[in-house]
Structure 1
Amino acid sequence: MRIANTSTGGDRSWRSQARTVVLWSWLTALTMVVVAAAVVWSWRDALPDPLASHWGMRPAAPDGFMSLRALVLATVLMVVLPGSLAGAVAWFWGRAATTRRMAAASCVWFGGFGAGVLLLLAGAQRGLDDATRATLPGWTVAATLVLPLGPAVVAALLVGGDRHEPAAGPVAADAARITLAGGERAVWIRRAAGGPGRVVGAAAMLVVTLLAVALRQWALLTVPVALIAVFAIMFAFTVRVDATGLTVRSLAGWPAYHVPADEVERASVTEVHPMRQFGGWGWRVGRGGRVGIVLRSGGGLLVQQSGDRSFVVTVDDAATGAALLNTLADRARSGPVPR
């Protein structure tokens, strides 16, 4: 199944897609956790009561307990609450396909995480008479975090992209431009990388690594390895403006974001505050549904796009990139855009 553009009209199209994405990703997440809950419930006669539900620094010594019913309810809420937030973002602000993809991936990841928590936590205690004897192997923690990434990526890939929607009018008259001769071509390329997000990621990887070594739970080392891959593709990008428009691509080649030149309504420089506007660093969705590749505070290139969409990337020399993009967007109005 692939969620594609199924309706006409810009506003109706993205709203229809957003509702579809939210519904099927929610259904997938809930199905995963409900199936897991049903399996665990079928084990109830072979499980201790109460169940161990929390381990501290010593994995062989649980320090928190709850009934099976309470564990199932808590896990369902753990899926429903953050999944609702992701779904709401797509439902109300999902104009861009990137926003809808993030919402779908988030919903499905939380569903997989909740299912994993139930199955692995209960499975580790199946056949025990006393939950105080339960142990939590390190691989169970790693598995609940890493394995749901697979279906989450699949969910994101199933969401169709934005349809081509040329801007109805010219580029804003007061937008900055660069003077180019009639047949002259120009390309602007910069690299966006670094920032506090990398520091936060490195600190998280260090903590998990030290924890794995201290507890001798070597399976936990898969978590920092997965984080290395995530941060490698999310915190280093090439930003390019040429006749086709704006392209921002991870140095790993994926993911990427493209704004066709004939969809640009205005490009400008904006001041970016990651926490206040986007809630953090990386590939983010901010207030009002604005998509951003936000690696640091400071100046960024803002592109207002047809379909009431906008995109921002923090990059040096954003003023030059914006001026060239406006000039090339003017040209795109009077001829075919190279692709």
Structure 2
Amino acid sequence: MTAPRPTTADATSAARVHAPHRLVSTVLGLGVPALVLVATALVARSWYPDLPDPVASHFGTHGPDEFTSAASFVVQGLAFGAAFAVGGWAIAVRLGRASTVRRMGTGLAAGGATLTSAATLGALWAQRGLDDAAQVVVGSSITLLPIVVGAVVGALAAALTPGDAAMPATTAVPADAPHLALGHQERATWVRQVTSRPLLVAIVAMTAIALVTTSAAPTAAPAVAPFLLALALVVAHVRFTVTVDRRGLRVRSVLGLPRATVPADEVLHAEVVQVAPLRQFGGWGYRVGAGGTAGIVLRKGEALRVERTGGRSFVVTVDDAATGAALLNTLAGRERSATGS
């Protein structure tokens, strides 16, 4: 991804702009997961006398297929939960100049730690009182419930993470940034829709897996529930509408969520860049890239990148990004003139 041009005083190096609300992010990203993980360890330990030895540690479509000691199983679950917490917290406090990134970080930290804790306790709960762990029945406590609980806690943590204060730009859009010729009273709106082919392929593959699994083993329906939830998440990211008008940049999923907005008065400048999803963002969808750049990344190639106040940046892969960037710069400049900035 090409680096933005340092053309104005507002374009302070992102490396020198610290993420705000670090205390709240730490409480939600480390404090909440720590409480969840400690509680999980204490509850699991109290169940040890009621558990078979060894316990089932992995479940396939036909039931448990791996076994270990209860203590090892719990330690493994806590380690995964701690990894989610530390990783999400690091994203929030190191890269979270934008509220979107902070919320992704705290949601990942609290939700991931809760999901692994609920999965650990759910698996142990299903085995309490059994003489042989191979007798355990795979139900919602092992498959669906941990995902739901983790998603709820993650969403709450994200919702409790403070948003961004209004930060109108105080300098003009750079003269060398691309602009679109518009009359003084002329209005314009640019709209494009973009669909992710990689995610369409993922939808087909996940649907096929779910159908094959349930047809081969009808009793494995509970194990397919996570696939269906993941499928819904992928569907929400497969197609977006990108709009540039006098309000700024708006990106909206075909399902309404996720969505993103960059107000016109916070635009420093917009430009066209080339994006490599795996190398720069680790995949497709609503992502956080290097340096804390938030992005809706649906494919490789041309993208519209917006540098905004507060050391924040946003990227969306879309056709005709040059026109969108030029119009956004023009309308952002007009907004400055209207407000006297």
Fold match, TM over 0.5?
yes
For 2:262, which of 251, 259, 263 is the aligned residue? 259
Contact 1:209–1:220, Cα closer than 8 Å, also in 2: no
Q: Helix, strand or coil for the counterpart of 1:177?
A: coil
- Is the deviation greater in 264-273 or in 162-171? 162-171
* Matched residue, 1:3: none
CA distance in structure 1 between the partners assigned to 2:85 and 2:35 by the alignment: 13
* Matched residue, 1:182: 184
* Matched residue, 1:222: 225
For 2:333, which of 317, 330, 333 is the aligned residue? 330
Q: Helix, strand or coil for the counterpart of 2:252?
A: strand
User: What is the TM-score when the length of structure 2 is the normalising length?
Assistant: 0.88
Q: Helix, strand or coil for the counterpart of 1:15?
A: coil
- Is the deviation greater in 256-265 or in 225-234? 225-234
CA distance in structure 2 between the partners assigned to 1:12 and 1:322 by the alignment: 26
**Residue 277, structure 1, aligned to residue 280, structure 2:** yes
Q: 1:310 to 1:85 in 2, by over 3 A?
A: same
Give 1:57 shift: 4.6
For 1:105, which of 96, 104, 107 is the aligned residue? 107
* Matched residue, 1:208: 210
Contact 2:19–2:98, Cα closer than 8 Å, also in 1: no
CA distance in structure 2 between the partners assigned to 1:200 and 1:19 by the alignment: 38
CA distance in structure 1 between the partners assigned to 2:248 and 2:293 by the alignment: 18
Where in structure 2 are there 5+ consecutive unaligned residues? 1-13
- Is the deviation greater in 294-303 or in 49-58? 49-58
CA distance in structure 2 between the partners assigned to 1:200 and 1:69 by the alignment: 36
What amino acid sits opposite 1:248 in the alignment? V
Contact 1:146–1:223, Cα closer than 8 Å, also in 2: no
* Matched residue, 1:49: 53
Contact 2:107–2:155, Cα closer than 8 Å, also in 1: yes
Give 1:136 shift: 2.7
Q: 1:285 to 1:182 in 2, by over 3 A?
A: same
* Matched residue, 2:11: none
Contact 2:214–2:221, Cα closer than 8 Å, also in 1: yes
Q: Helix, strand or coil for the counterpart of 1:190?
A: strand
- CA RMSD in angstroms comes to 2.2
Contact 1:97–1:161, Cα closer than 8 Å, also in 2: yes
* Matched residue, 2:43: 39
CA distance in structure 2 between the partners assigned to 1:233 and 1:165 by the alignment: 30
CA distance in structure 2 between the partners assigned to 1:221 and 1:48 by the alignment: 26
What amino acid sits opposite 2:88 in the alignment? A
User: What is the TM-score when the length of structure 1 is the normalising length?
Assistant: 0.89
Contact 1:171–1:330, Cα closer than 8 Å, also in 2: yes
**Residue 246, structure 1, aligned to residue 249, structure 2:** yes
**Residue 172, structure 1, aligned to residue 174, structure 2:** yes
Q: Give the percent of matched residue pairs that are identical in Structure 1 and Structure 2.
A: 39
What amino acid sits opposite 1:30 in the alignment? A
**Residue 296, structure 1, aligned to residue 299, structure 2:** yes
What amino acid sits opposite 1:244 in the alignment? R
For 1:96, which of 98, 103, 123 is the aligned residue? 98
Number of paired residues?
Answer: 326
CA distance in structure 2 between the partners assigned to 1:198 and 1:113 by the alignment: 27
- Is the deviation greater in 186-195 or in 131-140? 131-140
1:204-246 CA distance string (max 9 Å, x none): 3432342233222223343343234322322221111111111
- Is the deviation greater in 216-225 or in 172-181? 216-225
* Matched residue, 1:153: 155
* Matched residue, 1:28: 32
Q: Helix, strand or coil for the counterpart of 1:312?
A: strand
CA distance in structure 2 between the partners assigned to 1:233 and 1:55 by the alignment: 28
Q: 1:205 to 1:257 in 2, by over 3 A?
A: same
- Is the deviation greater in 135-144 or in 79-88? 135-144
- Is the deviation greater in 158-167 or in 70-79? 158-167
Contact 2:203–2:235, Cα closer than 8 Å, also in 1: no
Give 1:70 shift: 1.3
CA distance in structure 1 between the partners assigned to 2:26 and 2:203 by the alignment: 29
What amino acid sits opposite 1:233 in the alignment? A
CA distance in structure 1 between the partners assigned to 2:140 and 2:213 by the alignment: 10
For 1:317, which of 317, 320, 323 is the aligned residue? 320
